Chain A
Amino acid sequence: EAGVTQFPSHSVIEKGQTVTLRCDPISGHDNLYWYRRVMGKEIKFLLHFVKESKQDESGMPNNRFLAERTGGTYSTLKVQPAELEDSGVYFCASSLTGTANTGELFFGEGSRLTVL
């Protein structure tokens, strides 16, 4: 079974440009989370989808970040315009819902964003 996949693995852009990150969760996982890790710090929560609905977006830093999950399958996270402080590794994670959910998150390998 395929795990959580993220694309691109690494993106280098200049300040002011736009970047879109994509996450494909494990098939059948209704929960989808975006997290970000800035170098040496915690893995910080950004937002949580249940199917196509935003369950919790309290971690989104500002309106330069836009996440979508149309159709409840893959998700995209767009940063526009990118700033230097947006650099970091963006992780996507998915999990089951309901009684099958043990609490375990299945992570992707992350998308490393470097803003110059």
Chain B
Amino acid sequence: GENVEQHPSTLSVQEGDSAVIKCTYSDSASNYFPWYKQELGKRPQLIIDIRSNVGEKKDQRIAVTLNKTAKHFSLHITETQPEDSAVYFCAATRGAGRRALTFGSGTRLQVQP
């Protein structure tokens, strides 16, 4: 089955700096890679996703890159703000909407004002 590794487990940045979270996956057939954000005491919510037919996707201050050859994908947050503080989970699956997601272990991002 799929295995997703996520690094780092914790990340502290100054407000305004960039943050990068990296994930690797094992199943070369995986084709859908979402990122979920879980704020303290709240439910995980999808913030961005990418499918295997593209290498990069951007939405305002967040972007995701995918390297299928190396089987890794990354989340980039620019101009970080205190409200970006949360736990971020990457995930992968070979069947978006039809098969379960395999999640990484999460990254706790702390943005210092």
Q: Would you give the shortest CB distance from A31 to chain B, in whole angstroms? A: 7
Please name all residues of chain B whose beta carbon is closer than 8 Å to the beta carbon of A107 when the two chains form the complex.
Answer: 36, 43-45
- Whether the Cβ atoms of B43 and A108 lie closer than 8 Å is yes
Q: Contact mask B69-113 → A, CB, 8 Å, 1/0?
A: 000000000000000000001010100111111111110000000
- Whether the Cβ atoms of B43 and A33 lie closer than 8 Å is no
User: If A40-B105, A45-B102, A105-B101 touch, does A4 touch B34 (CB 8 Å cutoff)?
Assistant: no
Please name all residues of chain A whose beta carbon is closer than 8 Å to the beta carbon of B4 when the two chains form the complex.
Answer: 42
Bound-state Cα–Cα, A108 to B100, Å: 16
Residue of A nearest to B3 (CB): A42
Please name all residues of chain B whose beta carbon is closer than 8 Å to the beta carbon of A56 when the two chains form the complex.
Answer: 99-100
Kindly identify which residue among B97, B101, B105 contacts A41, using a CB–CB cutoff of 8 Å. B105
Q: Would you give the shortest CB distance from B66 to chain A, in whole angstroms? A: 15
- Whether the Cβ atoms of B100 and A45 lie closer than 8 Å is yes
Interface residues on B, range: 20 to 34
Bound-state Cα–Cα, A89 to B2, Å: 22
- Whether the Cβ atoms of A91 and B44 lie closer than 8 Å is yes
Q: Which A61-116 residues have C-beta < 8 A from chain B?
A: 91, 95-97, 101-105, 107-110
User: If A95-B97, A97-B97, A109-B43 touch, does A103 touch B106 (CB 8 Å cutoff)?
Assistant: no
Q: Which A1-60 residues have C-beta < 8 A from chain B?
A: 3-4, 31, 33, 35, 40-45, 48, 56, 58-59
- Whether the Cβ atoms of B104 and A42 lie closer than 8 Å is yes
Q: Would you give the shortest CB distance from B98 to chain A, in whole angstroms? A: 8
B61 at the interface (CB under 8 A from A): no
Q: Which B22-53 residues have C-beta < 8 A from chain A?
A: 32, 34, 36, 41-46, 49
Residues of B within 8 A of A (CB): 1, 4, 6, 9, 32, 34, 36, 41-46, 49, 89, 91, 93, 96-106
Q: Which 6 A-B pairs have the closest CB atoms?
A: A103-B96, A101-B97, A43-B103, A107-B43, A42-B105, A45-B100
